[in-house]
Amino acid sequence: MEQKKQNFVINRIESLKYAFIGAVYLIKTENAIKVHCVSTILLSLLGYFTNITRTEWMLQFLAIGLVISVEALNTSIEKIADFIQPDFDKKIGTIKDVSAGAVLFAGLFGAVIVAFIYIPKLMLFLSQ
């Protein structure tokens, strides 16, 4: 019984290793992910210097995480589609477009969250 628990833990650690490999791959190879990482750093600095609340931090990181996660899933879908059909195919194109549309939705709603956080701070700064 103890052996199964150890294997379970070891298997989870092994899974994390592959997740990190995938994350590093995305950061090294995908320009959109690089842009999101830079945006994360900039928004974190902006949050620090504007002293956003704990709730605003949580919402900001939730939005960032959602956008990056959807972007990663979009990349996966595109790679699977290219593997299945390397030549142009209208149906594959539609699948890729829908996947990119999901990223657009996540990005737009993320931008709305960021606007809710920072526009009032900007307005307060400009009124002084």
25 labeled binding residue: no
Tokens coding 58: 């949580």
Choice among 2, 14, 56, 71 that is catalytic = 71
78 labeled binding residue: yes
Q: How many CB atoms lie within 10 A of CB 105?
A: 12
Question: How far apart are the C-alpha atoms of 56 and 100, rounded to whole Å?
Answer: 27
Identify whether the C-beta of residue 70 lies closer than 8 Å to the C-beta of residue 106.
Answer: yes
14 labeled binding residue: no
Is 71 an annotated catalytic residue? yes
96 labeled binding residue: yes
Question: How far apart are the C-alpha atoms of 64 and 128, rounded to whole Å?
Answer: 30
Question: How far apart are the C-alpha atoms of 122 and 115, rounded to whole Å?
Answer: 10
In the annotated binding site for substrate, the residues are: 71
In the annotated binding site for a divalent metal cation, the residues are: 30, 78
Task: Indicate which residues carry an active-site annotation.
Answer: 71
In the annotated binding site for ATP, the residues are: 18, 30, 78, 96-97
In the annotated binding site, the residues are: 18, 30, 71, 78, 96-97
